[in-house]
Structure 1
């Protein structure tokens, strides 16, 4: 499955839930099902700046594919960041770079977020994209 196909499937799943409150309940349930990061990763180096909650994103490159884990002290933040990390994990850097998270606006998530949460979400995407760009640059070097 390509990243675009995975994104389209996620959009379809989220679009089925018409009520915004139910959609956020789904996101919260998703957050609760995600494992917590251990204390060694809840450090400044992995913290997403500009988010009103404490939010950490841990990226890694394995066999040419990017993987991401996230955690937050706020369940809605963890859930939304988790949607992104679950979507982008397991794909090559170039696919990640070419697939911005526009789907969150498509399914009506971003318009229900406070400006601070939207800023934090933007910073999650920027961190994911920057990591993918860094990995791509490493792979392309002779």
Structure 2
């Protein structure tokens, strides 16, 4: 999500998203007027031993007043047909939607959070992460 001069836009709605797949890696270059003449480059890798991802974000010629927010949530317990392989499931299944956030409980402490949610079997699942150089806050 990008914010500039009282404008907010989800990156999924950007004017141009170039996507490239490399074995084990997704590369995105995002361009939109809200980013000015610049672009946002994302490198995404899946974790090998547990559910999760590693994200590298690079900005290229983006005005320093632009703020970019990463939004986490929507743990619905949904499982995908081929473990999330591209093209196997509808893209919308990966969106952050309010109905996916039902029964999600977050605990935030400085730069770390814990998420409790129910899987399809109604068993409690726990995700705990710690980040460096980032602050967390809750939103509705």
Provide TM-score, normalisation by structure 1: 0.27
Q: Which has the larger radius of gyration?
A: 2
Select the structure that is richer in strand: 2
Q: TM-score, normalised by structure 2?
A: 0.27
Structure ranking higher in helix proportion:
1
Larger RCO of the pair (alpha carbons < 8 Å, separation 6+) = 1
